[in-house]
Amino acid sequence: MNIVIWMACGALLGWFAYELLDMSPGRGQAASLVIGGTGGVLGGKLLAPMLGIAAATPDAFSIPSLFIATFAAAVLLFVANYIYNTWRI
């Protein structure tokens, strides 16, 4: 269940970056949603346990891990935007 929440939060951030911040309109909205969702899952699944922020039980919801997932999605979106603006990939 956590993975779905992390993915939804990252995808929401991807939509926000595409629609409101006008980040990489040439890349497309679907790509922004996928990049944001991937960043959310990577942040929640990999970074949060590495930083010791994971929940006590594996299936429990953790607000701090959601913040890490959101931050990772934002960083991945920023990097993707930088790559797109630099090399048009």
Mean pLDDT by 10 residues, the chain (89 residues): 87 87 79 92 90 76 87 90 87
pLDDT value at residue 81: 87
pLDDT value at residue 34: 93
Contact in structure between 42 and 13 (CB atoms under 8 Å): no
How far apart are the C-alpha atoms of 50 and 82, rounded to whole Å? 26
How far apart are the C-alpha atoms of 78 and 8, rounded to whole Å? 18
pLDDT value at residue 36: 92
pLDDT value at residue 8: 92
pLDDT value at residue 17: 84
Contact in structure between 18 and 32 (CB atoms under 8 Å): yes
**CA triplet 40, 46, 49: central angle to 5 degrees?**
115
